Each structure stands twice: as structure tokens, then as C-alpha cells.
């Protein structure tokens, strides 16, 4: 009987020592269903504002910026338009479509401006091959 009590106490000490470092479950965030009826298929949420397409292309020694089919030759004008759009809807996805001959510094400058403006999602367009 004594060896069995020793084993029980050893198991008790083991479980107490291992549970000290665990996070309490009451502190962990959990997604709970709002009701008892759930849809079998997820509901698709449509983006009412669409995407922001920024095209970068090279013309001579200058980089041209095209924002949703509107051409901007001035970097400051493009930056101010991006800041205004981010104030209205920062959840709109921004897609950067760059030509192969555009300097990488210009691409990073546009990307950094979009991040500084507060856009949540910035993607790069690729050619389907």
C-alpha cells in the first residue's frame, strides 16, 4: 500500500509542476458562434469600393505613376491622393503593377508611402504564366 501512495504523490507533484507554466484558458481569446444556427457555407463579403491599382512605368528617365487609370507625373500629387484615399478607406487593397524597367527604389518608395498612409493590404501584381 505504501508504494502505491508514493506513486500517487509523485504523480500529483508532477502534474502540479507542469501546470505552473501554462496559460490559463480563460485568458485566451476565442471565437464563439453568435447563435445556435450556423450556415453551411461561409457568406462572401463583397468589397464595395474595389481595389486601388497603382501602375509604375518608365518613360525616358522619369517614372510615371498611374492610379486607377489616371496618370500622375508628379510624385507629390500621387502621395497626396494616396493619403486622402487611406483616410477614407484604409481597408481597400492596393495592388502595385510595375514594369520591368522601373527602378526598385521607386517601387519601394510607393510601397512605403502606402504603408505610411495606413493601407492594410498591399500586394504586387504578377504576369500569369
41-82 confidence digits (pLDDT tens): 776 665 556 788 888 888 888 888 888 888 877 778 888 888
The answer, yes or no, to whether residue 27 has pLDDT greater than 60, is: no
CA–CA separation, 22 and 85 (whole Å): 45
Q: What is the CATH number of the domain that holds 59?
A: 3.30.420.270
* Overall pTM > 0.95: no
Q: Which residue has the higher pLDDT, 81 or 38?
A: 81
Asked whether residue 102 is assigned to any structural domain, the reply reads: yes
Asked whether residue 93 is assigned to any structural domain, the reply reads: yes
Asked whether residue 79 is assigned to any structural domain, the reply reads: yes
What total of structural domains would you count in the chain?
Answer: 1
Asked whether residue 69 is assigned to any structural domain, the reply reads: yes
Asked whether residue 34 is assigned to any structural domain, the reply reads: no
Asked whether residue 35 is assigned to any structural domain, the reply reads: no
Strand stretches in 19-118, DSSP E: 52-59, 62-67, 70-72, 94-98
93-109 confidence digits (pLDDT tens): 888 888 888 888 888 88
**Domain limits at 64?**
52-124
CA–CA separation, 74 and 76 (whole Å): 6
Asked whether residue 18 is assigned to any structural domain, the reply reads: no
Amino acid at each position: 500500500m505504501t508504494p502505491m501512495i508514493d506513486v500517487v504523490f509523485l504523480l500529483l507533484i508532477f502534474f502540479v509542476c507542469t501546470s505552473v507554466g501554462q496559460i490559463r484558458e480563460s485568458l485566451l481569446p476565442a471565437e464563439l458562434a453568435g447563435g445556435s444556427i450556423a450556415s453551411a457555407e461561409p457568406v462572401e463579403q463583397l468589397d464595395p469600393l474595389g481595389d486601388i491599382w497603382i501602375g509604375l512605368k518608365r518613360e525616358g528617365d522619369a517614372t510615371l505613376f498611374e492610379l486607377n487609370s489616371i496618370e500622375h507625373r508628379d510624385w507629390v500629387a500621387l502621395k497626396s491622393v494616396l493619403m486622402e484615399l487611406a483616410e477614407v478607406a484604409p481597408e481597400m487593397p492596393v495592388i502595385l503593377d510595375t514594369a520591368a524597367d522601373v527602378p526598385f527604389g521607386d517601387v519601394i518608395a510607393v510601397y512605403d508611402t502606402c504603408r505610411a498612409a495606413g493601407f492594410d493590404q498591399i500586394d504586387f501584381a504578377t504576369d500569369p504564366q
